[in-house]
Amino acid sequence: MRVAIAGAGNVGRSIAAELVENGHEVLLIDREPAAIKPNSLPQAEWLLADACELSSLEEAGVDSCDVAIAATGDDKANLVMSLLAKTEFGVPRTVARVNHPKNEWLFNEVWGVDVAVSTPRLMSALVEEAVSVGDLVRLLTFHEGEANLVEMTLPPDSPAVGKQIGTMHWPGDVVLVAIIRDGHARPPDRDGSLEARDELLFVTAQDYERELGEMLSPKGVSPQIVTPSR
């Protein structure tokens, strides 16, 4: 997979390092000469250019990318880059960093953004999750609000504790994507069992969140669905 990343600061370089390690082709774009540090990640391509300019994106070959990531510290630049990548170059998937929560409402399909990542929102979600065992926490909303990434820490008295994962019948189109246990993330194993205090990560349509929470909560307990403030 070929990925273009606008913004070669700490965030952009960290994302690039992860993607390179996973075998993807990565191009880092930044308009500041001081940000261009090929020696820090020689496996990636580097381009000194303004990702908000059509000519720069043409030079970068963004039309051949599978994903475009706007990871600069400027929300306006991230929106413009996402819009150009989607509408002018037909990039299948765009991911944009939201620096200021007050701007989060802009990061949607109108501006060519498939996935918006707001660090303050994610952090507040994780804080609320840490003190809310048994509550369903909405961490991230995907393209057009059709699906959410949600988390629930399994209470010790949940009826799901001890059950084999392969026997669980999740409601609707709910998908269990990962389990965090003892601080380590692991993919769900159909032959494995759920344990108390497992942190379960699901992708689900919002319509099924309540049913999912009730399925995992102790009998007679109505789970709270936590949506961090924007």
Q: What is the pLDDT of residues 2-23, one digit of tens each?
A: 999 999 998 899 999 989 998 9
Kindly give, in sequence order, each residue whose CB lies less than 8 Å from that of residue 76, ignoring residues fewer than 6 positions away: none
Q: Integer distance in angstroms from the first to the last C-alpha of the chain?
A: 32
Residue 96 near residue 117 (C-beta atoms within 8 A): yes
Question: Tens of pLDDT along 104-137?
Answer: 889 999 999 998 888 666 656 555 555 456 788 8
Q: What is the spatial distance between Cα 11 and Cα 164, in angstroms, rounded to a whole number?
A: 38
The tokens describing 44, both together, are 């990636």
Task: Give the pLDDT of residue 101.
Answer: 81
Q: What is the spatial distance between Cα 61 and Cα 67, in angstroms, rounded to a whole number?
A: 12
Q: What is the spatial distance between Cα 6 and Cα 49, in angstroms, rounded to a whole number?
A: 9
> How remote is the C-alpha of 26 from its chain's centroid?
18
For the chain, domains (ranges, CATH) are 2-113 (3.40.50.720), 122-226 (3.30.70.1450)
The CB density around residue 190, as the number of other CB atoms within 10 Å, is 9
Q: Is 30 helix (H, G, I), strand (E, B) or coil?
A: strand
Question: Tens of pLDDT along 143-155?
Answer: 556 788 889 999 9
* Residues in the chain, total: 230
Task: Label residue 211 by pLDDT band (50, 70, 90).
Answer: very high
Task: Give the pLDDT of residue 230.
Answer: 45
DSSP states along 76-96: HHHHHHHHHHHHTT--SEEEE
